[in-house]
Amino acid sequence: MRAERLQGHEPREMPPGWPGYDIESRLPDGSLRFLEVKGKGPGSGVVTLSRTQILTGLNKPESWFLVVVETDGERALRAHYIPAPFQREPDFAATSVNYDLAELLARARWSVEL
């Protein structure tokens, strides 16, 4: 939420259990973007996303972002915005998929210091 406000956006946290993303954020031009946020501390190596989150990202490729919030274990340090992190939908029986954190961070389009 803080990273979005620092960029001049109006974020709105979605209710617990909301499928597909955690934050809906209105940009100054009135458009919306949808953010799935994952906090990762020292020693983290993977990011786990649900099938629903992945399908939502695939259905909204221009406006859905994975935001990985890097922490020191106690405080949020920076938010990394990763656009369109998925190439294909998960297998039919998959409920979640693990992604390599380092590979995702290498694809971040921008980061915001918190």
Which region holds residue 26: left if phi is over 0, alpha if psi is between -120 and 50, else beta?
A: beta
Distance CA 47, CA 100 (A): 6
What pLDDT score does 15 carry? 95
pTM of the shown model? 0.95
Q: Give the C-alpha separation, 5 to 16, whole Å.
A: 21
Distance CA 15, CA 68 (A): 19
CB-CB contact of 83 with 109 (8 Å) = yes
From the list 101, 31, 21, 33, the residue with the least C-alpha distance to 69 is 101
What pLDDT score does 17 carry? 86
Structural domains of the chain sorted by starting position, each given as residue range(s) with its CATH number in brackets: 2-113 (3.40.1350)
Separation of alpha carbons 10 and 24, rounded Å: 8
- What per-residue confidence (pLDDT) applies to 60? 94
Percent of the chain predicted with pLDDT > 70: 100
- List, run by run, the mean pLDDT of 10-residue segments along the chain (114 residues): 97 93 98 98 96 96 97 96 94 96 97 96
Residues 12-23: tens digit of each pLDDT? 999 998 889 999
pLDDT the model gives residue 20 = 95
